[in-house]
């Protein structure tokens, strides 16, 4: 019995059933491999497209972040300057500083783009990833620090504000006390008069204190020294001494708290400047 023969177009290209099976098997393997190649090509293209899209998103978002950092630096710097002048004006931090843009992009795709297209910037990119945590949490951190500072500072300031008693309640109670030592009354009256006339310290017309430091150095500390000889003979002189020392201690604590906050904020400003410089390098 003759084997069946099959041919392609002409009998010159005829194949028997075994040969056809081999050919079909080969074609099947070839098409499978070709399918894998095409699928892999599509996968690579899609992965590259995703990486490029991730970088484009980052590139378009960085200028806004850079602007927010610049505004933050200016506002923190002004806040520090005001603090040094005993002025408390809350800085306004941009909302966009707290916008965690990296949560909106696939970091794997983003890093893949840098590895392939911007190898020289990989270290800067990795530093930016770390910096992003700083940006995202800074606003809450700053609010907490400011609240803590205000609470501690206001506690000390309430004690310091008792300096006004020295030229009001205490003054009148001493001056009108007929049993008080006359030399002490004269000393204290001159002290209050000198304070009220000191235009570098006190603005009598607007009833405003100009300089806390000068008040302490030029008047409260001299009062402590001047009242000391009268303490032995006058309970009120002793009370004045105790009150004055509390005021000086409160002022020193206020200055210490203020210097501590200023130091922290100045360090933060430098951090922002360095991180802004890193962003500039990524945008070049």
45-59, 89-103, 105-119: range with lowest mean pLDDT: 89-103
The burial class, CB within 10 Å (0-12 / 13-18 / 19+), for 281 is middle
Q: What is the pLDDT of residues 232-269, one digit of tens each?
A: 888 888 999 999 999 999 999 999 999 999 999 999 99
Q: What is the pLDDT of residues 12-70, one digit of tens each?
A: 555 556 655 776 777 777 777 877 787 777 767 888 878 888 888 888 888 888 898 99
**pLDDT of 16:** 56
Query: What angle (nearest 5°) sits at the alpha carbon of residue 201, between those of residues 252 and 224?
Result: 50
Q: Which residue has the higher pLDDT, 179 or 257?
A: 257
Entry pTM: 0.75
Would you say residue 9 has pLDDT above 70?
no
Residue found under tokens 């040969």: 19
How confident is the prediction for the chain on average, in pLDDT? 84
Q: Which residue has the higher pLDDT, 162 or 31?
A: 162
CB-based contact 201:214 (threshold 8 Å): yes
């Amino acid at each position: 019995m003759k084997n069946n023969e099959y041919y392609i177009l002409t009998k010159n290209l005829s194949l028997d059933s075994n040969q056809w099976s081999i050919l079909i098997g080969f074609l099947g393997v070839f098409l499978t491999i070709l399918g894998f190649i095409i699928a892999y090509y599509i996968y690579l293209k899609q992965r590259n497209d995703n990486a490029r899209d991730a970088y484009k998103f980052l590139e378009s978002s960085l200028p806004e972040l850079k602007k927010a950092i610049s505004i933050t630096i200016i506002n923190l710097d002004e806040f520090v300057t005001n603090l040094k002048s005993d002025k408390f004006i809350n800085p306004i931090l941009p909302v966009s500083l707290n916008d965690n843009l990296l949560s909106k992009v696939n970091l794997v795709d983003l890093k893949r783009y840098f590895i392939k297209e911007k190898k020289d910037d990989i270290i800067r990119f990795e530093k930016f990833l770390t910096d992003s945590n700083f940006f995202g949490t800074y606003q809450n951190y700053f609010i907490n620090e400011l609240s803590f500072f205000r609470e501690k500072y206001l506690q000390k300031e309430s004690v310091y504000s008792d300096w006004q008693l020295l030229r009001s309640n205490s003054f009148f109670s001493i001056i009108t006390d007929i049993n008080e030592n006359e030399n002490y009354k004269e000393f204290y009256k001159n002290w209050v008069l000198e304070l009220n006339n000191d235009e570098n310290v006190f603005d009598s017309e607007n009833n405003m204190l100009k300089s806390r430091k000068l008040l302490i150095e030029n008047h409260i500390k001299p009062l402590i020294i001047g009242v000391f000889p009268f303490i032995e003979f006058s309970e009120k002189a002793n009370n004045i001494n105790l009150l004055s020392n509390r005021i000086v201690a409160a002022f020193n604590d206020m200055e210490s708290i203020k210097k501590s906050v200023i130091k922290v904020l100045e360090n933060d400003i430098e951090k922002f400047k360095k991180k802004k410089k890193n962003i500039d390098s990524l945008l070049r």
